[in-house]
Structure 1
Amino acid sequence: MDLTQTKKLAEIEAITRSVGWGAANILRSYYRGEVNQGNLAINEDKKDGPVTAADIAANHYILTKLQAVFDTDTFGYLSEETHQGTDPIAKDWVWIIDPLDGTRDFIDKTGEYALHIALAYQGRPVVAVVAIPEAEKLYFASKGHGTFVETPDGTVNQISVSDRNQVENLCLVVSRTHRDDRFQALIEALPLKDRLYMGSVGGKIATILEKTSDVYISLSGKSAAKDWDFAAPELILTEAGGKFTHFNGDPLTYNRGDVRQWGGLLASNGHCHELLCQQSLDILAKIDGKASK
């Protein structure tokens, strides 16, 4: 079968939405204490952050549902909770999954957690779902067909980014913490109007879709965000009219073996994207120049 056909992508998208809602319901049941101990970290020492019973349960549900339809002979699976090794998955079609984006926010009860499911073809996302369980919203997109938001009653509406097109009028969405001095200096130097605080990456990109923010930046330090942090959020943003690139303008590529996305990346409503990327590069050059003296 030709998976690039519009009809086939629409079928995959519909299945992914259903799986996304099921996983979102699992996360909410843990978050609200309907499942015993669901709000507690069961592995605080995990290298990339804590893992909860909710992460494991949602991951198991997503993999079970998807693998029942999308066989492992054709499709690869790259999930935060099961990823091992440093080699790319030897498949053209790879599911990239974060069953609980923002685990710390989940534990701390901010409500600002999400789940991501994306299907990539040769390293680029073509179907994506980002669910925000506590907002009871699920954002979905397929390549070339726009981004939509769905609520539990089945209402679906197309969604797009803001039309704000002056840097001084744009709002930056950032985490409350997780910023080293270099990143802090960068965002303080950018001439943006406002700052909005949000936990998960999926939640941050959702604020750009909802027009409450316009810009998100990721800058690696001792560590870096991973493929599963960005694959689904990227597609729902770009299909809604936004842009998501490295500072130098290069597109993100997934399933390269090293799942870490090093360097600086910028997501935006698209209107000042190239200018903000260049400003970020110029600011970092000054910061790094001072640090080297």
Structure 2
Amino acid sequence: MAHSDLLPNLDSCLTTLRTVGWGAMAILQSYYNGDNQTNLNANEDKQDGPVTAADLAANKYILATLQETFSPEEFGYLSEETHQGNEPLPQDWVWIIDPLDGTRDFIDKTGEYALHIALTYRQRPVLALVGMPEAEKLYYAVQGQGCFRETKAGEVTRLQVTSKSDSSPLTLVVSRSHRDQRFQDLIDRLPFGDRHYVGSVGCKIVTILEGQSDVYISLSGKSAAKDWDFAAPELILTEAGGKFTYFDQTPVVYNRGDVRQWGGIMATNGSRHGALCEQAVQILAQLDQG
């Protein structure tokens, strides 16, 4: 059965989601720029990184607003701030939410933080939004309908990634920190030209959409990225013509119980995606052999 034959209507969901996105970004900005900025109450001891009052306030708003329309009986809610346990949610339709991706960048005032909300159907994203509060832009996509950028003024532009020729050097977008030695060795051996340093995963993927970068790589070490880091960024990239897969080039799967995405993930504007995946696998095999 096609997605369009199933409840909910994704176009209607998108209308709700865009409203929620702007509302959540306003909350994040109120903490980042406004009266609340000196009262973040950051919990630096959280195992997976710091959490602030801004994360919690945005999360509370997103869940309350979505649940008014999308019943928790029919829709699962997998959120960074409320996730518990290691069992997959039983619903076919699951919202995957990161109210503040890039909390460290938020605290450090780099501006490179983002909002991620995706709706998945049977473990794959079908509707997604990545919000950039400081740029005052939303990026959104519905499966099969393309990727769009919306400004606060209401201007909507369809986006398409720009591929590069086989001979052009590729630019890697990467964090300023968070690199263990194995990941550093991997990216040092891959054929990249420039490196573009950006915070949140959502912000990194947006640089590929906007033609500032070509490739983003995630490689788990002692820890791993989570479902809510990738579900929304994946769909906006692929709907703009990019590619987002595990290193073995299979689709990324969500809501499996363990929210951690172990292994390697390659996200590109489509330029040499398969070749980069194959090279990454070969390089890691060499590294692991010592």
Question: TM-score normalized by structure 2?
Answer: 0.96
Contact 1:168/1:192 (8 A) holds in 2: no
> CA offsets, 1:129-153, max 9 Å, x none?
0001111110000000000000001
Moved over 4 A (4+): none
Alignment of 1:1-293 (within 5 A): 4-5=4-5, 8-35=9-36, 37-38=38-39, 40-166=40-166, 168-290=168-290
Distance 2:234 2:167 in 1: 21
Distance 1:159 1:36 in 2: 33
Distance 1:115 1:83 in 2: 17
> CA offsets, 1:66-98, max 9 Å, x none?
000001111000000000000000100000000
> CA offsets, 1:89-144, max 9 Å, x none?
01000000000000000000000000100000000000000001111110000000
> CA offsets, 1:11-43, max 9 Å, x none?
1111111101110111011001322534x3431
Distance 1:285 1:204 in 2: 27
> CA offsets, 1:150-185, max 9 Å, x none?
000110000111121326521100000000000001
The residue identity in structure 1 corresponding to 2:44 is E
Distance 1:3 1:281 in 2: 34
Shift in alpha-carbon separation, 1:36–1:104, aligned structure 2, 3 A: closer
Shift in alpha-carbon separation, 1:36–1:180, aligned structure 2, 3 A: closer
Residue-pair matches, total: 288
Distance 2:260 2:35 in 1: 34
Q: What percentage of aligned pairs have identical amino acids?
A: 64
Contact 1:41/1:50 (8 A) holds in 2: no
Contact 2:76/2:95 (8 A) holds in 1: yes
The residue identity in structure 2 corresponding to 1:19 is V
Residue aligned with 1:77, SS? strand
Residue aligned with 1:28, SS? helix
Residue ranges of structure 2 left out of the alignment (5+ in a row): none
Give how far 1:10 is off: 0.8
Moved more, 154-163 or 217-226: 154-163
Distance 1:4 1:86 in 2: 31
> CA offsets, 1:224-246, max 9 Å, x none?
00000000000000000000000
Distance 2:148 2:136 in 1: 14
Distance 2:270 2:3 in 1: 29
Shift in alpha-carbon separation, 1:103–1:167, aligned structure 2, 3 A: farther
* Aligned-residue CA RMSD (Å): 1.4
Moved more, 167-176 or 203-212: 167-176
Residue ranges of structure 1 left out of the alignment (5+ in a row): none
Moved more, 83-92 or 161-170: 161-170
Distance 1:58 1:199 in 2: 19
Moved more, 25-34 or 241-250: 25-34
